[in-house]
Amino acid sequence: MSQTIFPAPRKIEAPSAAQRPFSFIHHSTEISDPWHWLKDQGYPEVTDPDILDYLKAENSYFETVMKPQQAMTDKIFGELKGRIKEDDVSVPWVEGDFEYRWAYGEGAQYRTWYRRPLGAEHWGVLLDENIEAGSHEYFRLGDMSISPDGKLMAWSVDNNGSERFTVKVRVIETGELLESHVEETSGNVVWSADSKHFFYVHVSAEWRPYKVFIHTLGTEQSDHLVYEEKDTSFFVSVGLSSSRGYIFIRAADHVTAELCAVKADAPFSAPMRINNRKAGHDCHADHGQGQFIIRTNRAHKNFSLVSVGDDDPLEVNWQTIMDGGDGHYIRGHQMFKNLTVVQERINGLDQVRLLRAGGDQTVAFPEDVYAANIGHNPAFDQTHIRLNYTSMVTPNTVFDYDLNTGELIPRKVQEIPSGYDASSYVTERIMVTARDGARVPVSIVSRKDVASQTGPKPLHLYGYGAYGLGMDPSFSSGRISLLDRGFIYAIAHIRGGDDMGYGWYEDGKLDKRENTFNDFVDCGRALVGLDYTKAGDISISGGSAGGELMGAVVNQAPELFRAVVMHVPFVDVLNTMLDESLPLTPIEWPEWGNPIALKEVFDHIRSYSPYDQIEAKDYPPMMVTGGLNDPRVTYWEPAKWTAKMRAYKTDNNVLVMKINMGAGHGGKSGRFERLHETAEEYSFILMTFGIGT
């Protein structure tokens, strides 16, 4: 007998996607996929009227189901909006002879960027994103780069969410827009030292960044090819060293990287190789003080730092300056004129270390559990290091660490205009023993008065667990709308992320992928066992690979969850990893495995792929989202999941899907539009708990 948590409206018929016979055989196994037709064969163009009609029908159903909750959605939106400073302004930063900042105008969806000469009083407008966005449904600024002589501004724009950026160039003093429009780029713009050329990465028709070009101002887009990556499993990026002396070209998949460098004052010189490509060797470089410092995992999986002269940087000349270790994870670094700043994690806790002639120094932060990282530091020679800091109860804070005094100076604390009292909330970190004995951290935040109450409470559990992307125990002003309604909010730092080091990532990928899913379920069960909540009173959410997590855990333990929110969910894992025509498939094989080549990989992915594992059983209420122009998780993954789930599930719980028809992977782009989507998500969760406005 099915258990109904939140029933679908009886008077409204949910869309039903037709089943059309389709099957294929791979490794002697026949796969039937009657919703294969939801993938437009002309992709990335989506023109099939049957597909578009189905997506529109799902959007209409979503709006109809959510309409009775409009008062709740509006109330939550008002709360979320009340917690952001509408006329927010950044901490200024110095670059060359100018000072820069960005600001939001009251009611503005996007930022405006400003600069002024050092010592001047008045700010001049560099770029108003609101004007650039115009009437476009979607707008994203990819990069904004000022030429070394300070006279020109190059910026890149994506107007549909496809992550194909157009680069434009403007004369700052006159506002003259140059004819140099460069199409089909990845978004990055790096100037040569003479301000006459810039480097960019061209993306293929399949959206693979693979060619590095130099564009000369005043010419058509028939540019000088600097680098071309032939291996379809590698993506290419460009970046500028902190010294501004070198332009880096990095070709990488998720585990292997190859680095080259071009002198910024000799842009047409041949790229200088820093390391030879070797499977499993990952590295990142910066430059200063006549040397490269490279973060490399060749000696330890948790990385080390090595130095090498910039005249002959090949690996044979590398000298170790800092070793990583089992509990010491080196996560990043930046070079300055007289020191190197290292971002690291010691036994799972963020640290920032300064390496300089007088010895190492670690920055002391005010809380025991927090997230901290190197902030925006464009000036090579400066007397402070800008840092970002937050915790589950502490709003995002920008600190300047004074290099002379060692003082940590707060420059900006996130304002909550409607009011926020950190002393009303409490955070803790517990360790959960997973089924295989691994100790998994869980960060928890709640109101103090809720925490003091005995008995289980509603709990929201969030997770990601992929690509080595750890989830910081950071602050969220939006989360308060759940906390103030009696929720506990928890983040499961599951394997697949790098929360506990690079080995934590390795233990959640390839043939160990199920550890990620099992960790999340085991965290949920432990929270029940510890009386934070009870089974069936946990809402969960995740996006992209975190959406895959949602699909896998709801297949494994649907009885645990009250509601599931799946944002752009990567749920059709087997079919996607079998389709090497998709730009992200070859580069993803080091993460998931190659089922085309290996039967054991094919069988393994099939055994957990959420779409393939949907069964005829009860599932909790679900909200699914996607973007028609999403190049990362294509729209048909959430669409196929929703269609198959409707056909298989035996409950009467509500299932809704919303596809943004003019956006990509990150959903809508304006800050208030994003808040409204969060309000819809929270409204959906609260209605499944029967919690009113």
Q: Where in the sequence numbering do the catalytic residues fall?
A: 544, 630, 665
What three-state secondary structure class fits 287?
strand
Taking residue 598's Cβ as centre, other Cβ atoms within 10 Å add up to 13
Pairing type for strands 538-543 and 561-567 reads: parallel
Going through 118-245 in order, the beta strands assigned E by DSSP cover 124-128, 140-146, 152-158, 165-171, 182-185, 190-191, 197-203, 209-216, 224-228, 235-240
Instruction: Classify residue 653 by its DSSP letter.
Output: B
What three-state secondary structure class fits 360?
strand
Q: Which two tokens stand for residue 501?
A: 């080091």
* Nearest-10 crossing angle of helices 545-556, 514-529: 60
Region label for 584, one of left (φ > 0), alpha (ψ between -120 and 50) or beta (otherwise)? alpha
Q: Which ranges in 67-177 belong to alpha helices (H)? A: 70-82, 129-133
Give the number of residues written for the chain: 693
Instruction: Classify residue 646 by its DSSP letter.
Output: H
Count Cα atoms within 13 angstroms, Cβ side, for 392: 21
- DSSP one-letter string for 666-679: TB--SHHHHHHHHH
Instruction: Classify residue 652 by its DSSP letter.
Output: -
Show Cβ contacts of residue 668 under 8 Å, excluding neighbours closer than 6 positions. Answer: 137, 138, 660, 674, 676, 677
- Distance between CA 241 and CA 335 in Å, rounded? 9
- DSSP one-letter string for 480-526: HHHHTTT-EEEEE--BTB-TT-HHHHHTTSGGGTHHHHHHHHHHHHH
- Distance between CA 147 and CA 352 in Å, rounded? 31
Question: 293: which strand partners?
Answer: 286, 307
- Distance between CA 442 and CA 431 in Å, rounded? 6
Show Cβ contacts of residue 645 under 8 Å, excluding neighbours closer than 6 positions. Answer: 614, 619, 622, 655
- Distance between CA 181 and CA 166 in Å, rounded? 7
